Amino acid sequence: MTRLCLTLTRDTLKANLEDLRTYAPDMAELRLDLLSPAEQRKAVSLPSQSSVPLILTCRRREDGGAWTGSALEREKLLWELMEGGFAFVDLEEGEDSPLLAARAREQGLKILRSLHDFEGVPVNLDERLRNMARKGDLVKAALMCRGSADLLRIFETAAAWKENPPSGSPQLILLGMGPFGIPSRILAGKMGLYLTFCSPEGVEAAPGHLDINTLRSLYRAGELDRESKVFGIIGNPVLHSRSPEIHNPGFLRLGMNGVYLPFSVDDLPSFFKMAELLDIQGFSVTVPYKEEIRSFLTEESRDVRAIGACNTVLKGEGKSWQGFNTDIQGFLEPLKQILKEEASQENAPDGEPGLKNMKAALIGAGGAARAVAAALVKSGCALTIFNRNAHRAKALAEQFSCLWAPLDELVQNPKDPFDLVVQSTSCGMKPGEDPVPGYDFSGRELLYDIIYSPPETRLMERARAAGCRVLGGLPMLHAQGQAQFEGFARLYRKSAGFDKAKGAS
- What is the three-class DSSP state of 6? strand
Q: What is the 8-class DSSP label of residue 226?
A: T
Other CB atoms within 10 Å distance of the CB of residue 317: 7
CA dihedral 179, 185, 188, 193 (to 10 degrees): 100
Q: Which is nearer to ligand NAP, 204 or 408 (CB)?
A: 408
Q: Which is nearer to ligand NAP, 161 or 400 (CB)?
A: 400
The strand pairing partners of 175, in sequence order, are: 142
Smallest separation (angstroms) from ligand NAP to the CB of 311: 8
Smallest separation (angstroms) from ligand NAP to the CB of 453: 7
Smallest separation (angstroms) from ligand NAP to the CB of 70: 53
290 is catalytic: yes
Give the per-residue contact string, 320-339, with ligand NAP (x = CB under 6 A; - = no). Answer: ----------x---------
Smallest separation (angstroms) from ligand NAP to the CB of 423: 9
394 touching ligand NAP, by CB under 6 A: no
Smallest separation (angstroms) from ligand NAP to the CB of 336: 15
205, burial (CB in 10 Å: exposed 0-12, middle 13-18, buried 19+): middle
389, 408, 461, 494: which one contacts ligand NAP (CB under 6 A)? 389
CA dihedral 311, 212, 122, 97 (to 10 degrees): -170
Q: How do strand 171-177 and strand 138-144 relate by DSSP bridges? A: parallel
Tell me the residue type at 451.
Answer: I
365, burial (CB in 10 Å: exposed 0-12, middle 13-18, buried 19+): buried
Instruction: Tell me how far apart the alpha carbons of residues 175 and 157 are, in angstroms, rounded to a whole number.
Output: 11
Instruction: Tell me how far apart the alpha carbons of residues 338 and 217 are, in angstroms, rounded to a whole number.
Output: 33
366 touching ligand NAP, by CB under 6 A: yes
Element (H, E) at 307: helix 302-307
Q: Which is nearer to ligand NAP, 2 or 425 (CB)?
A: 425
Smallest separation (angstroms) from ligand NAP to the CB of 286: 8
Give the per-residue contact string, 273-312, with ligand NAP (x = CB under 6 A; - = no). Answer: --------------x-------------------------
By beta-carbon distance, which residue lies closest to ligand NAP?
366
84, 170, 367, 487: which one contacts ligand NAP (CB under 6 A)? 367
5, 198, 450, 460: which one contacts ligand NAP (CB under 6 A)? 450
58, 285, 314, 369: which one contacts ligand NAP (CB under 6 A)? 369
Smallest separation (angstroms) from ligand NAP to the CB of 295: 19
235 touching ligand NAP, by CB under 6 A: no
The one catalytic residue among 140, 190, 229, 290 = 290
79, 118, 296, 452: which one contacts ligand NAP (CB under 6 A)? 452
Q: What are the φ/ψ torsions at residue 495 (nearest 5 degrees)?
A: -80, -35
Q: Which is nearer to ligand NAP, 148 or 425 (CB)?
A: 425
454 touching ligand NAP, by CB under 6 A: no
Q: Which is nearer to ligand NAP, 479 or 496 (CB)?
A: 479
Tell me the residue type at 366.
Answer: G
Q: Which is nearer to ligand NAP, 149 or 450 (CB)?
A: 450
Residues near ligand NAP (CB under 6 A), total = 25
Smallest separation (angstroms) from ligand NAP to the CB of 478: 8
CA dihedral 321, 322, 327, 333 (to 10 degrees): -130
Q: Got the DSSP string for 13-64?
A: HHHHHHHHHHH--SEEEEEGGGS-HHHHGGGGGHHHH-SS-EEEE--BGGGT
Element (H, E) at 171: strand 171-177
144, 210, 355, 451: which one contacts ligand NAP (CB under 6 A)? 451
Element (H, E) at 368: helix 367-378
Smallest separation (angstroms) from ligand NAP to the CB of 210: 24
CA 435 to mean position of chain CA atoms: 30
480 touching ligand NAP, by CB under 6 A: yes
Which of 36, 98, 109, 29 minimizes the C-alpha distance to 67?
36
Residue 96 makes CB contacts below 8 A (sequence gap 6+) with none
477 touching ligand NAP, by CB under 6 A: yes
222, 282, 435, 487: which one contacts ligand NAP (CB under 6 A)? 435
157, 281, 325, 387: which one contacts ligand NAP (CB under 6 A)? 387
Q: Which is nearer to ligand NAP, 186 or 368 (CB)?
A: 368
Which of 357, 376, 360 minimizes the C-alpha distance to 368?
376
CA dihedral 483, 486, 490, 495 (to 10 degrees): 90
Instruction: Please identify every residue annotated as catalytic.
Output: 290
**Residues engaged in binding ligand NAP (CB under 6 A):** 287, 330, 364-369, 387-389, 392, 424-427, 429, 435, 450-452, 473, 476-477, 480
